[in-house]
Amino acid sequence: MAGAKSMEQTNAKNDFTLEIESLAYGPYGIGRIDNQVIMVPATVPGDKITARVTDAKGNYAFGEMVRLLQPSRLRQTPPCPYVNDCGGCPWQQVRYEAQLKAKAQSVADALRRIGKLEGFELRPIIASPREYHYRRRVRLQCDKDKRIGFFRAFSHDLVEIDACLIADGTLNKVIYPLRTWVNELDTTVEHVEIVTGDDPNEIVAVGKAAGEFISRDNSPCEHLLNQASGINGLILHGDKWRKEWGHTAVSIRSDDGICLKVKGDVFTQINAQGNRKLLRELLAAGGFDKNDQLLELYSGAGNFTLSIAKQAREVVVVESYRQSIDSGKRSAQFNGIANIRWVCAHVPAALERFAKQRERFSKIILDPPRAGAKGIERNLASLGAEKILYVSCNPASLARDLSALARHGYKLTFVQPIDLFPHAFHVEALAVMIR
Protein backbone atom coordinates (compact mmCIF):
# COMPACT_ATOMS: atom_id res chain seq x y z
CA MET A 1 0.00 0.00 0.00
CA ALA A 2 1.34 3.46 -0.94
CA GLY A 3 2.77 5.17 2.11
CA ALA A 4 2.37 2.08 4.34
CA LYS A 5 5.99 1.75 5.42
CA SER A 6 8.15 2.72 8.36
CA MET A 7 8.88 6.40 8.93
CA GLU A 8 11.72 7.52 6.70
CA GLN A 9 13.67 9.94 8.87
CA THR A 10 14.61 13.31 7.38
CA ASN A 11 16.97 15.99 8.62
CA ALA A 12 14.63 17.10 11.40
CA LYS A 13 14.40 14.59 14.21
CA ASN A 14 10.62 14.14 14.14
CA ASP A 15 9.97 14.64 10.40
CA PHE A 16 9.19 11.80 8.02
CA THR A 17 8.28 11.19 4.40
CA LEU A 18 4.61 10.55 3.67
CA GLU A 19 2.65 9.81 0.53
CA ILE A 20 -0.94 11.11 0.47
CA GLU A 21 -3.40 8.44 -0.67
CA SER A 22 -6.84 10.04 -0.49
CA LEU A 23 -8.93 12.94 0.79
CA ALA A 24 -10.82 12.74 4.07
CA TYR A 25 -14.35 14.08 4.53
CA GLY A 26 -12.81 17.21 5.94
CA PRO A 27 -9.88 19.53 5.15
CA TYR A 28 -7.26 16.76 5.19
CA GLY A 29 -5.33 14.47 2.90
CA ILE A 30 -4.68 11.00 4.30
CA GLY A 31 -1.45 9.02 4.37
CA ARG A 32 -0.42 5.95 6.40
CA ILE A 33 2.68 5.04 8.36
CA ASP A 34 2.87 1.62 10.06
CA ASN A 35 -0.93 1.32 9.66
CA GLN A 36 -1.45 4.62 11.47
CA VAL A 37 -3.56 7.16 9.59
CA ILE A 38 -1.92 10.59 9.29
CA MET A 39 -4.22 13.48 8.32
CA VAL A 40 -2.50 16.51 6.82
CA PRO A 41 -4.28 19.70 5.63
CA ALA A 42 -3.58 21.36 2.24
CA THR A 43 -2.45 18.09 0.63
CA VAL A 44 -3.57 16.23 -2.50
CA PRO A 45 -3.77 12.50 -3.31
CA GLY A 46 -0.46 11.59 -4.92
CA ASP A 47 1.59 14.23 -3.09
CA LYS A 48 4.88 13.06 -1.55
CA ILE A 49 5.69 15.31 1.40
CA THR A 50 7.84 15.76 4.44
CA ALA A 51 5.38 15.70 7.34
CA ARG A 52 5.41 16.25 11.07
CA VAL A 53 2.86 14.98 13.61
CA THR A 54 1.14 17.79 15.50
CA ASP A 55 -1.38 15.80 17.54
CA ALA A 56 -1.40 12.01 18.03
CA LYS A 57 -4.72 10.28 18.78
CA GLY A 58 -3.82 6.57 19.03
CA ASN A 59 -4.35 4.81 15.70
CA TYR A 60 -4.52 8.14 13.86
CA ALA A 61 -2.78 11.50 14.06
CA PHE A 62 -2.95 15.02 12.68
CA GLY A 63 0.07 16.38 10.92
CA GLU A 64 1.42 19.33 8.99
CA MET A 65 3.31 19.51 5.71
CA VAL A 66 6.89 20.66 6.24
CA ARG A 67 7.90 20.41 2.58
CA LEU A 68 6.27 19.32 -0.68
CA LEU A 69 8.78 16.85 -2.12
CA GLN A 70 6.86 15.72 -5.21
CA PRO A 71 3.54 17.32 -6.18
CA SER A 72 0.67 15.14 -7.35
CA ARG A 73 -0.59 15.40 -10.93
CA LEU A 74 -3.93 16.23 -9.27
CA ARG A 75 -2.51 19.33 -7.59
CA GLN A 76 -3.26 22.80 -8.95
CA THR A 77 -2.19 26.29 -8.00
CA PRO A 78 -5.10 27.87 -6.10
CA PRO A 79 -6.20 31.09 -7.83
CA CYS A 80 -7.42 32.69 -4.58
CA PRO A 81 -4.96 35.12 -2.93
CA TYR A 82 -6.36 34.29 0.54
CA VAL A 83 -6.23 30.50 0.31
CA ASN A 84 -3.29 30.07 2.68
CA ASP A 85 -5.07 32.05 5.41
CA CYS A 86 -8.82 31.72 4.88
CA GLY A 87 -10.53 28.56 6.13
CA GLY A 88 -13.33 28.55 3.55
CA CYS A 89 -11.95 26.47 0.64
CA PRO A 90 -9.75 23.67 2.04
CA TRP A 91 -9.69 21.74 -1.28
CA GLN A 92 -8.80 24.57 -3.63
CA GLN A 93 -5.39 23.02 -4.33
CA VAL A 94 -7.12 19.86 -5.68
CA ARG A 95 -8.19 19.64 -9.33
CA TYR A 96 -11.97 19.63 -9.61
CA GLU A 97 -12.26 16.15 -11.13
CA ALA A 98 -10.37 14.75 -8.12
CA GLN A 99 -12.66 16.66 -5.74
CA LEU A 100 -15.69 15.04 -7.39
CA LYS A 101 -14.16 11.58 -7.12
CA ALA A 102 -13.39 12.09 -3.42
CA LYS A 103 -16.90 13.34 -2.68
CA ALA A 104 -18.54 10.39 -4.40
CA GLN A 105 -16.24 8.07 -2.45
CA SER A 106 -17.13 9.74 0.85
CA VAL A 107 -20.82 9.02 0.19
CA ALA A 108 -20.10 5.40 -0.76
CA ASP A 109 -17.84 4.84 2.27
CA ALA A 110 -20.39 6.28 4.70
CA LEU A 111 -23.26 4.20 3.34
CA ARG A 112 -21.29 0.96 3.50
CA ARG A 113 -19.18 1.48 6.62
CA ILE A 114 -21.57 3.45 8.82
CA GLY A 115 -24.90 2.36 7.38
CA LYS A 116 -23.88 -1.24 6.54
CA LEU A 117 -26.00 -0.80 3.39
CA GLU A 118 -25.56 -2.92 0.27
CA GLY A 119 -27.37 -3.67 -2.98
CA PHE A 120 -28.05 -0.08 -4.00
CA GLU A 121 -27.00 1.88 -7.07
CA LEU A 122 -24.54 4.71 -6.47
CA ARG A 123 -25.01 6.99 -9.45
CA PRO A 124 -22.18 9.11 -10.90
CA ILE A 125 -21.81 12.41 -9.07
CA ILE A 126 -23.31 15.47 -10.76
CA ALA A 127 -20.81 18.33 -10.98
CA SER A 128 -21.58 21.91 -10.08
CA PRO A 129 -22.26 23.96 -13.23
CA ARG A 130 -19.79 26.52 -11.89
CA GLU A 131 -16.50 25.85 -10.13
CA TYR A 132 -16.09 29.49 -9.07
CA HIS A 133 -18.47 32.39 -8.37
CA TYR A 134 -21.29 29.97 -7.53
CA ARG A 135 -22.30 31.17 -4.04
CA ARG A 136 -25.36 33.41 -3.93
CA ARG A 137 -24.99 33.98 -0.20
CA VAL A 138 -21.78 34.71 1.71
CA ARG A 139 -21.24 35.42 5.42
CA LEU A 140 -18.60 38.02 6.28
CA GLN A 141 -17.32 38.10 9.86
CA CYS A 142 -16.68 41.38 11.70
CA ASP A 143 -14.05 41.86 14.41
CA LYS A 144 -13.62 44.42 17.22
CA ASP A 145 -11.63 46.65 14.86
CA LYS A 146 -14.62 46.67 12.47
CA ARG A 147 -12.76 44.78 9.77
CA ILE A 148 -14.80 42.33 7.64
CA GLY A 149 -13.68 39.07 6.10
CA PHE A 150 -13.43 35.33 6.83
CA PHE A 151 -11.97 33.39 9.72
CA ARG A 152 -8.67 31.57 9.40
CA ALA A 153 -8.89 27.78 9.45
CA PHE A 154 -9.48 26.37 12.96
CA SER A 155 -9.62 29.84 14.57
CA HIS A 156 -11.54 33.07 15.01
CA ASP A 157 -8.69 35.20 13.66
CA LEU A 158 -10.07 37.35 10.87
CA VAL A 159 -8.65 37.54 7.35
CA GLU A 160 -9.79 40.81 5.78
CA ILE A 161 -10.83 40.37 2.14
CA ASP A 162 -11.76 42.56 -0.82
CA ALA A 163 -13.40 39.80 -2.92
CA CYS A 164 -14.12 36.07 -2.83
CA LEU A 165 -13.59 33.77 -5.82
CA ILE A 166 -16.51 31.48 -4.96
CA ALA A 167 -18.97 34.34 -4.36
CA ASP A 168 -21.29 35.57 -7.09
CA GLY A 169 -19.62 38.55 -8.75
CA THR A 170 -22.43 40.91 -7.77
CA LEU A 171 -21.78 40.17 -4.09
CA ASN A 172 -18.11 41.11 -4.37
CA LYS A 173 -19.11 44.58 -5.57
CA VAL A 174 -20.84 45.40 -2.27
CA ILE A 175 -18.04 44.42 0.13
CA TYR A 176 -16.47 47.89 0.09
CA PRO A 177 -19.70 49.81 0.90
CA LEU A 178 -20.47 47.27 3.62
CA ARG A 179 -17.04 47.84 5.15
CA THR A 180 -17.76 51.58 5.20
CA TRP A 181 -21.22 50.98 6.73
CA VAL A 182 -19.87 48.74 9.53
CA ASN A 183 -17.35 51.44 10.44
CA GLU A 184 -20.06 54.11 10.57
CA LEU A 185 -22.24 52.14 13.01
CA ASP A 186 -22.25 52.49 16.77
CA THR A 187 -24.21 49.21 17.01
CA THR A 188 -21.75 46.31 17.23
CA VAL A 189 -22.11 43.90 14.29
CA GLU A 190 -20.84 40.31 14.62
CA HIS A 191 -21.29 39.27 11.01
CA VAL A 192 -23.00 40.32 7.79
CA GLU A 193 -24.50 37.91 5.28
CA ILE A 194 -24.98 39.14 1.72
CA VAL A 195 -27.54 37.42 -0.49
CA THR A 196 -28.44 37.78 -4.16
CA GLY A 197 -31.48 36.44 -6.00
CA ASP A 198 -32.14 35.17 -9.50
CA ASP A 199 -33.67 38.44 -10.70
CA PRO A 200 -31.57 41.56 -11.51
CA ASN A 201 -30.76 44.10 -8.81
CA GLU A 202 -31.54 41.87 -5.85
CA ILE A 203 -28.95 42.09 -3.09
CA VAL A 204 -29.89 41.98 0.59
CA ALA A 205 -27.46 42.46 3.48
CA VAL A 206 -28.31 40.77 6.79
CA GLY A 207 -26.40 41.92 9.86
CA LYS A 208 -26.28 40.13 13.23
CA ALA A 209 -25.73 42.57 16.10
CA ALA A 210 -24.11 41.74 19.44
CA GLY A 211 -26.38 43.96 21.54
CA GLU A 212 -29.16 46.52 21.26
CA PHE A 213 -29.80 48.69 18.21
CA ILE A 214 -28.58 52.25 18.72
CA SER A 215 -31.21 54.56 17.28
CA ARG A 216 -28.80 57.03 15.67
CA ASP A 217 -27.65 54.16 13.41
CA ASN A 218 -30.89 54.47 11.47
CA SER A 219 -29.23 57.18 9.37
CA PRO A 220 -26.21 55.13 8.10
CA CYS A 221 -28.57 52.21 7.44
CA GLU A 222 -30.77 54.37 5.25
CA HIS A 223 -27.69 55.89 3.61
CA LEU A 224 -26.36 52.42 2.70
CA LEU A 225 -29.44 51.84 0.53
CA ASN A 226 -29.74 55.37 -0.82
CA GLN A 227 -26.19 55.55 -2.15
CA ALA A 228 -25.25 53.63 -5.30
CA SER A 229 -24.00 50.63 -3.28
CA GLY A 230 -25.90 47.94 -5.18
CA ILE A 231 -27.63 46.85 -1.94
CA ASN A 232 -31.42 46.95 -2.23
CA GLY A 233 -32.43 45.68 1.20
CA LEU A 234 -30.99 45.60 4.71
CA ILE A 235 -31.96 43.50 7.73
CA LEU A 236 -30.29 44.11 11.08
CA HIS A 237 -31.22 41.97 14.08
CA GLY A 238 -30.22 41.13 17.62
CA ASP A 239 -31.41 38.55 20.11
CA LYS A 240 -34.82 40.17 20.64
CA TRP A 241 -35.15 42.76 17.87
CA ARG A 242 -35.19 42.97 14.09
CA LYS A 243 -35.24 45.98 11.72
CA GLU A 244 -35.63 46.21 7.94
CA TRP A 245 -34.85 48.84 5.31
CA GLY A 246 -35.69 48.62 1.60
CA HIS A 247 -36.60 45.48 -0.33
CA THR A 248 -35.51 42.57 1.86
CA ALA A 249 -36.65 39.58 -0.24
CA VAL A 250 -34.88 37.84 -3.13
CA SER A 251 -36.31 35.72 -5.95
CA ILE A 252 -35.44 32.02 -6.30
CA ARG A 253 -36.55 30.62 -9.66
CA SER A 254 -36.87 27.00 -10.81
CA ASP A 255 -37.05 25.50 -14.30
CA ASP A 256 -40.82 24.96 -14.10
CA GLY A 257 -41.66 28.65 -13.72
CA ILE A 258 -41.98 28.70 -9.92
CA CYS A 259 -40.64 31.84 -8.24
CA LEU A 260 -40.05 31.89 -4.49
CA LYS A 261 -39.92 35.23 -2.69
CA VAL A 262 -37.61 34.66 0.27
CA LYS A 263 -36.49 37.11 2.95
CA GLY A 264 -32.73 37.57 3.05
CA ASP A 265 -32.42 36.03 6.52
CA VAL A 266 -34.31 32.86 5.57
CA PHE A 267 -32.18 29.89 4.41
CA THR A 268 -31.74 29.28 0.69
CA GLN A 269 -29.34 26.90 -1.05
CA ILE A 270 -26.12 28.71 -1.87
CA ASN A 271 -25.60 27.31 -5.40
CA ALA A 272 -28.39 28.57 -7.66
CA GLN A 273 -27.67 26.42 -10.73
CA GLY A 274 -26.76 23.40 -8.64
CA ASN A 275 -29.99 23.74 -6.68
CA ARG A 276 -32.00 23.64 -9.90
CA LYS A 277 -30.20 20.41 -10.83
CA LEU A 278 -31.02 18.97 -7.40
CA LEU A 279 -34.71 19.84 -7.82
CA ARG A 280 -34.79 18.21 -11.26
CA GLU A 281 -33.31 15.02 -9.83
CA LEU A 282 -35.81 15.01 -6.96
CA LEU A 283 -38.81 15.46 -9.25
CA ALA A 284 -37.60 12.70 -11.59
CA ALA A 285 -36.94 10.29 -8.70
CA GLY A 286 -40.27 11.05 -7.01
CA GLY A 287 -42.48 10.31 -9.99
CA PHE A 288 -45.16 12.45 -8.35
CA ASP A 289 -48.72 12.51 -9.74
CA LYS A 290 -52.21 13.77 -8.85
CA ASN A 291 -52.89 10.69 -6.70
CA ASP A 292 -50.05 11.52 -4.30
CA GLN A 293 -50.70 12.68 -0.76
CA LEU A 294 -47.18 13.87 0.13
CA LEU A 295 -45.40 14.74 3.34
CA GLU A 296 -42.40 17.06 3.24
CA LEU A 297 -40.24 17.43 6.37
CA TYR A 298 -37.74 20.24 7.05
CA SER A 299 -39.15 22.18 4.10
CA GLY A 300 -37.48 25.51 4.78
CA ALA A 301 -39.09 28.27 2.72
CA GLY A 302 -40.37 25.83 0.09
CA ASN A 303 -37.29 25.15 -2.01
CA PHE A 304 -38.87 21.88 -3.23
CA THR A 305 -42.43 22.34 -2.00
CA LEU A 306 -44.09 24.43 -4.69
CA SER A 307 -42.69 22.44 -7.63
CA ILE A 308 -43.77 19.19 -5.94
CA ALA A 309 -47.23 20.60 -5.21
CA LYS A 310 -47.78 21.34 -8.91
CA GLN A 311 -47.56 17.59 -9.56
CA ALA A 312 -49.34 16.16 -6.48
CA ARG A 313 -52.83 16.11 -4.98
CA GLU A 314 -51.70 17.66 -1.69
CA VAL A 315 -48.45 18.36 0.15
CA VAL A 316 -48.33 18.52 3.96
CA VAL A 317 -45.31 20.56 5.01
CA VAL A 318 -43.55 20.50 8.39
CA GLU A 319 -41.01 23.20 9.27
CA SER A 320 -40.12 24.58 12.72
CA TYR A 321 -38.87 28.05 11.73
CA ARG A 322 -41.84 30.42 11.58
CA GLN A 323 -40.21 32.86 9.14
CA SER A 324 -39.61 30.02 6.67
CA ILE A 325 -43.25 28.94 6.91
CA ASP A 326 -44.45 32.53 6.40
CA SER A 327 -42.13 32.91 3.42
CA GLY A 328 -43.38 29.65 1.91
CA LYS A 329 -47.00 30.70 2.30
CA ARG A 330 -46.33 34.04 0.57
CA SER A 331 -44.58 32.26 -2.30
CA ALA A 332 -47.45 29.76 -2.68
CA GLN A 333 -49.94 32.61 -2.87
CA PHE A 334 -47.72 34.51 -5.33
CA ASN A 335 -47.59 31.42 -7.59
CA GLY A 336 -51.29 30.59 -7.22
CA ILE A 337 -50.69 27.22 -5.52
CA ALA A 338 -53.30 26.25 -2.92
CA ASN A 339 -52.82 22.50 -2.28
CA ILE A 340 -50.22 22.88 0.50
CA ARG A 341 -50.97 22.42 4.22
CA TRP A 342 -48.35 24.26 6.25
CA VAL A 343 -47.49 22.94 9.74
CA CYS A 344 -45.13 25.01 11.90
CA ALA A 345 -43.77 22.45 14.37
CA HIS A 346 -40.68 20.47 15.25
CA VAL A 347 -40.53 17.39 13.04
CA PRO A 348 -40.47 14.71 15.80
CA ALA A 349 -43.55 16.21 17.49
CA ALA A 350 -45.44 16.52 14.21
CA LEU A 351 -44.64 12.92 13.24
CA GLU A 352 -45.81 11.63 16.60
CA ARG A 353 -49.09 13.49 16.12
CA PHE A 354 -49.52 12.17 12.55
CA ALA A 355 -48.87 8.61 13.77
CA LYS A 356 -51.44 8.90 16.57
CA GLN A 357 -53.99 10.29 14.13
CA ARG A 358 -53.18 7.42 11.72
CA GLU A 359 -52.51 9.79 8.84
CA ARG A 360 -51.20 8.17 5.66
CA PHE A 361 -48.95 9.49 2.91
CA SER A 362 -47.97 7.91 -0.39
CA LYS A 363 -44.48 9.45 -0.43
CA ILE A 364 -42.30 11.36 2.03
CA ILE A 365 -39.59 13.91 1.25
CA LEU A 366 -37.13 15.12 3.89
CA ASP A 367 -34.18 17.49 3.78
CA PRO A 368 -32.91 17.73 7.38
CA PRO A 369 -30.02 19.86 8.67
CA ARG A 370 -26.49 18.47 8.83
CA ALA A 371 -27.20 16.54 12.04
CA GLY A 372 -29.80 14.47 10.19
CA ALA A 373 -33.12 13.08 11.43
CA LYS A 374 -32.12 10.67 14.18
CA GLY A 375 -34.94 9.06 16.15
CA ILE A 376 -37.88 9.69 13.82
CA GLU A 377 -37.68 6.43 11.85
CA ARG A 378 -40.38 4.50 13.76
CA ASN A 379 -43.04 7.17 13.37
CA LEU A 380 -41.89 7.87 9.82
CA ALA A 381 -42.31 4.22 8.86
CA SER A 382 -45.78 4.10 10.44
CA LEU A 383 -47.18 6.60 7.93
CA GLY A 384 -47.41 4.00 5.15
CA ALA A 385 -45.30 5.73 2.47
CA GLU A 386 -44.27 3.54 -0.45
CA LYS A 387 -41.26 5.79 -1.17
CA ILE A 388 -39.00 8.01 0.93
CA LEU A 389 -36.78 10.61 -0.75
CA TYR A 390 -34.03 11.84 1.58
CA VAL A 391 -31.88 14.85 0.66
CA SER A 392 -28.74 15.21 2.77
CA CYS A 393 -25.64 17.39 3.08
CA ASN A 394 -23.84 14.99 5.45
CA PRO A 395 -22.91 11.44 4.33
CA ALA A 396 -22.49 10.20 7.93
CA SER A 397 -25.93 11.24 9.22
CA LEU A 398 -27.49 10.13 5.91
CA ALA A 399 -25.99 6.64 6.31
CA ARG A 400 -27.12 6.39 9.94
CA ASP A 401 -30.70 7.44 9.13
CA LEU A 402 -31.04 5.22 6.04
CA SER A 403 -29.81 2.26 8.07
CA ALA A 404 -32.49 2.97 10.70
CA LEU A 405 -35.19 3.11 8.02
CA ALA A 406 -33.90 -0.15 6.53
CA ARG A 407 -34.62 -1.81 9.87
CA HIS A 408 -38.24 -0.66 9.47
CA GLY A 409 -38.78 -2.34 6.12
CA TYR A 410 -37.39 0.14 3.61
CA LYS A 411 -34.83 -0.77 0.94
CA LEU A 412 -32.32 1.69 -0.46
CA THR A 413 -32.57 1.68 -4.27
CA PHE A 414 -30.19 4.42 -5.38
CA VAL A 415 -28.18 7.40 -4.20
CA GLN A 416 -27.38 10.39 -6.38
CA PRO A 417 -24.48 12.58 -5.16
CA ILE A 418 -24.61 16.21 -6.31
CA ASP A 419 -21.84 18.76 -5.80
CA LEU A 420 -23.12 22.13 -4.63
CA PHE A 421 -19.88 23.13 -2.86
CA PRO A 422 -16.77 23.14 -5.13
CA HIS A 423 -13.50 23.51 -3.18
CA ALA A 424 -15.12 22.47 0.10
CA PHE A 425 -15.49 18.85 1.24
CA HIS A 426 -19.29 19.04 1.64
CA VAL A 427 -21.48 17.07 -0.74
CA GLU A 428 -25.23 16.86 -1.29
CA ALA A 429 -26.93 13.50 -1.92
CA LEU A 430 -30.41 12.32 -2.86
CA ALA A 431 -31.31 8.84 -1.57
CA VAL A 432 -34.44 6.92 -2.57
CA MET A 433 -35.92 4.12 -0.42
CA ILE A 434 -38.96 1.98 -1.22
CA ARG A 435 -40.99 -0.80 0.36
Q: Using CA atoms, how far apart are residues 38 and 61, in angstroms rounded to an integer?
A: 5
pLDDT tens string 25-84: 999 999 999 889 999 999 999 999 999 999 998 889 999 999 999 999 999 999 999 998
* pLDDT band, residue 3 (cuts 50/70/90): very low
- Cβ contact 361:410 at 8 Å: no
Q: Please provide the average confidence, as pLDDT, over all residues in the chain.
A: 94
Give the list of residues 6+ apart from residue 64 with CB closer than 8 angstroms, or none: 40, 41, 51, 52, 54
Q: Using CA atoms, how far apart are residues 429 and 54, in angstroms rounded to an integer?
A: 33
Predicted confidence at residue 153, as pLDDT, reads: 81
- Cβ contact 213:243 at 8 Å: yes
Which pTM does this prediction carry?
A: 0.93
Predicted confidence at residue 205, as pLDDT, reads: 98
Residue length of the chain: 435
Give the list of residues 6+ apart from residue 97 with CB closer than 8 angstroms, or none: 74
Query: Going by DSSP bridges, is the β-strand pair 293-297/363-366 parallel, antiparallel, or unpaired?
Result: parallel
Compute the half-sphere exposure of residue 188: CA atoms within 13 Å on the CB side of its CA.
Answer: 8
Q: Using CA atoms, how far apart are residues 59 and 61, in angstroms rounded to an integer?
A: 7
**Positive or negative CA dihedral for 208, 210, 215, 216?**
negative
Q: Name which of 159, 162, 175, 165 is nearest 135 in CA terms.
A: 165
Q: Using CA atoms, how far apart are residues 74 and 29, in angstroms rounded to an integer?
A: 12
Single-letter residue type at 252: I
Is residue 354 over pLDDT 90? yes
Lowest mean pLDDT among 58-62, 154-158, 172-176, 282-286: 154-158
Helix (H) or strand (E) holding 383: none
Three-class SS state of 340: strand
For 173-188, what is the mean pLDDT?
96
pLDDT tens string 114-155: 999 999 999 999 999 999 999 999 999 999 999 999 998 888
Query: Going by DSSP bridges, is the β-strand pair 60-70/36-41 parallel, antiparallel, or unpaired?
Result: parallel
Q: Using CA atoms, how far apart are residues 121 and 103, in angstroms rounded to an integer?
A: 16
* pLDDT band, residue 12 (cuts 50/70/90): low
Residue-range domains of the chain with CATH: 15-70 (2.40.50.140), 100-130+271-434 (3.40.50.150), 137-250 (2.40.50.1070)
Q: What is the phi-psi region of residue 362: left when phi exceeds 0, alpha when psi lies from -120 to 50, beta otherwise?
A: alpha
